[in-house]
Each structure stands twice: as C-alpha cells, then as structure tokens.
C-alpha cells in the first residue's frame, strides 16, 4: 500500500502551472496515525499525542496564516463508509478549503511560520490526499 503526505515534484509543478488568480477549492482527505510521529528533538516528540491531537495542533498553529491569506473552510465532514472505491481505504476526516487564488495557497505554504507548523501535520498523518478543484456553478442536479 502506498501512502501520501506531501506532493511529489511533478504534482507540485502541475499545481503551480495552473492559474494563480482565480478561486480554488482544495479537497483534503486525512487518515491519522494512532500515535503522532514527531522527529527527535521536536518539542512534542514523545508526548504521546494521537495523530488527531497532532493535527489539532497543526490547525491551531497554521490557522492564523490560513485566515490571513483569505482561506476559509467551505465544507467539513467525518468519514462514515466507502460507497465507491477500494475497501481498504478509509479517511478519518475530510474538508474543502477555499482560497481566493492559488497565489494565496502558495503564500501560506511559503510562510516561515507555516513551515514550522506543518511538522504537526506530518507527525499526525499516515495518509492524505490534497486535490485542487476550480469551483463550479451550484445547481440542483448532477452534471
């Protein structure tokens, strides 16, 4: 089984090659570790935090930066069951983050304080997906 925490160089390039000046939605699917894995020497190493608790710390430390760049949570949900997809895949949490543009997302991830906060995300997650969408028109049907 393959797990993903950070973007590959090719995926990162594809993200940066798309328009940066239009709103984007970022679908986040999260699977937490049972026990957070902080690097040796980090202030939270060995504290016994769960992955979920470490992710809460990530939210607390990255939240002000997320809001400063204009980010908002458009939707949040808790996984219940896989309807279409592999039986061995489940997610503990999911949400859609909305940004005024990809440039705002890039500003956030390049921020020095964010880069210190992201260690909590890495410690928290065993697997994740981060998928960029262009917001579409709302409607009352499929398609």
Count the Cβ atoms, other than its own, within 10 Å of residue 76: 11
pLDDT at residue number 90: 87
Any alpha helices (H) in 51-92, and if so which ranges?
A: 51-68
Whether the CB-CB separation of 57 and 49 falls below 8 Å is answered with yes
pLDDT of residue 82: 87
Rounded distance between C-alpha atoms, residue 12 and residue 143, angstroms:
29
Query: Which segments in the chain show pLDDT lower than 70?
Result: 1, 143
What is the set of domains in the chain, with CATH numbers? 22-133 (3.30.70.100)
């Amino acid at each position: 089984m393959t797990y993903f925490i950070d973007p590959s160089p090719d995926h990162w390039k594809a993200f940066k090659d798309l328009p940066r000046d239009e709103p984007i939605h970022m679908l986040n699917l999260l699977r937490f570790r049972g026990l957070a894995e902080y690097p040796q020497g980090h202030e939270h190493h060995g504290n016994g935090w769960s992955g979920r608790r470490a992710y809460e710390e990530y939210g607390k430390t990255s939240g002000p930066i997320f809001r400063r760049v204009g980010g908002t949570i458009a939707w949040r949900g808790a996984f219940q069951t896989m309807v279409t997809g592999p039986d061995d895949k489940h997610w503990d949490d999911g949400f859609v983050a909305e940004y005024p543009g990809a440039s705002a997302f890039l500003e956030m991830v390049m921020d020095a304080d964010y880069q210190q906060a992201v260690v909590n995300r890495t410690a928290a997650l065993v697997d994740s997906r981060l998928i960029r969408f262009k917001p579409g028109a709302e409607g009352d049907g499929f398609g």
